[in-house]
Homo-oligomer: A and B are copies of this chain.
Amino acid sequence: MKFDENSKILIVGLGLIGGTYARALTEKGYEVGAIDVDEKAIEYALSKGWIKSGQTQVDKDYVGKFDVIVFAVYPHVFIDWIEKYQSFIKDGALVTDVTGVKGSVVYMVQKLLRSDVEFVGAHPMAGREVSGVEHANPAIFKGANYIVVPTDKNTSEGIEACKALGKELGFAKISVLTPEQHDEMAGFLSHLTHCIAVSLMVCKDSTHLASYTGDSFRDLTRIAKINDDMWSELFLLNKDELIAQMNLFEEHFDALKKCIETDDRDSIREMMRISTARRRVFDKDAKEKQ
């Protein structure tokens, strides 16, 4: 297990995130290769110089060259790949991923994987409402968080290597969480918010309102443009946690509704004061402009 300036890095899945890993690491001087079923994605990244080599097939000799393999594919594709092709991976290689759910992925992959290859889960908390390698841009990692999600099967060497990768990618903050902590956090901050945004767009045909809207509605629904294939998989893989977070949200939304129904202005104002105080912490943290 090692990760240093001579490490050769393979990206499996050359979309927005995989492409951004490739571009960032190539710019840092690493030798980067890629596998993607889409030949155009490979050709595009080659033409930009973001990868040194690329393949559309999973080839034993090609895979075996790399010291670090990053999976930037859907969770089920990642698990299938490990089941089918793990024998191709070099002895002592580091395997990591970018998956937005951890509990239902990390334990499974660690159980499946050969003992001489270490898998350390990671979640780069960055993205855009567009997909595809052509939008790859390391700027999306600046100011963002990179979360390493180890289990007790991981070595401190492996965890440090995964952290070092996050640093090389340009993330502002590297954190460590357990799979359970990660999924609670992602369930609340990411999956719940996407459920809210989707529900808000679905609940009526508001397109005729587009010309009346201020920033509030636009902000709340920016993430309602969503990759249904990927996000439906994430939602279901984090189902129990997400349902718990949805229930929690509904409980408080109902409490506010009850206050409005009963003209309980004091309680409405108290909720707003709590909300204002808590939200300020996020401003401070993000150094948002006033």
Contacts from A to B (Cβ < 8 Å): 125-127, 129-130, 144-145, 147, 173, 175, 177, 185, 188-190, 192-207, 209-214, 216-226, 228-229, 231-233, 235-236, 239, 242-243, 246-257, 260-261, 263, 265, 268-269, 271-276, 278-283, 285-286, 288, 290
Nearest-CB residue, chain B, relative to A261: B243
Instruction: Check A282 against B221 for contact (C-beta < 8 Å).
Output: yes
8 shortest interchain CB distances as A-B pairs: A228-B272, A201-B275, A210-B285, A203-B252, A228-B269, A199-B253, A198-B275, A207-B281
- Neighbouring B residues of A271 by C-beta, 8 Å: 198-199, 202
Instruction: Check B232 against A223 for contact (C-beta < 8 Å).
Output: no
Q: Shortest beta-carbon distance, A173 to chain B, in Å?
A: 6
CA distance A232 to B213 in the complex (A): 20
CA distance A277 to B206 in the complex (A): 11
Instruction: Check A220 against B236 for contact (C-beta < 8 Å).
Output: no
Residue pairs across A and B with Cβ atoms less than 8 A apart, 25 shown, are A125-B213, A126-B214, A130-B290, A145-B213, A145-B214, A189-B214, A189-B216, A192-B200, A193-B216, A193-B217, A195-B257, A196-B196, A198-B271, A201-B275, A202-B271, A205-B278, A217-B282, A224-B279, A225-B283, A226-B276, A229-B269, A231-B272, A235-B260, A236-B260, A246-B260
Instruction: Check A225 against B280 for contact (C-beta < 8 Å).
Output: yes
Instruction: Check A204 against B188 for contact (C-beta < 8 Å).
Output: yes
Q: Which of B144, B147, B216 contacts A190, CB < 8 Å?
A: B216
Instruction: Check B189 against A209 for contact (C-beta < 8 Å).
Output: yes
CA distance A58 to B282 in the complex (A): 41
Instruction: Check B204 against A248 for contact (C-beta < 8 Å).
Output: yes
Q: Shortest beta-carbon distance, A177 to chain B, in Å?
A: 8
Q: Contacts A177-B212, A218-B282, A224-B275 given; 8 further ones with Cβ under 8 A?
A: A125-B213, A145-B213, A193-B219, A203-B248, A207-B278, A219-B220, A219-B222, A229-B269
Report if A212-B198 is in contact (Cβ < 8 Å); known contacts: A203-B252, A228-B273, A236-B265.
Answer: no
- Neighbouring B residues of A233 by C-beta, 8 Å: 265
Instruction: Check A282 against B213 for contact (C-beta < 8 Å).
Output: yes
CA distance A206 to B184 in the complex (A): 11
Instruction: Check A206 against B188 for contact (C-beta < 8 Å).
Output: yes
CA distance A223 to B229 in the complex (A): 30
- Neighbouring B residues of A268 by C-beta, 8 Å: 228, 232, 235-236
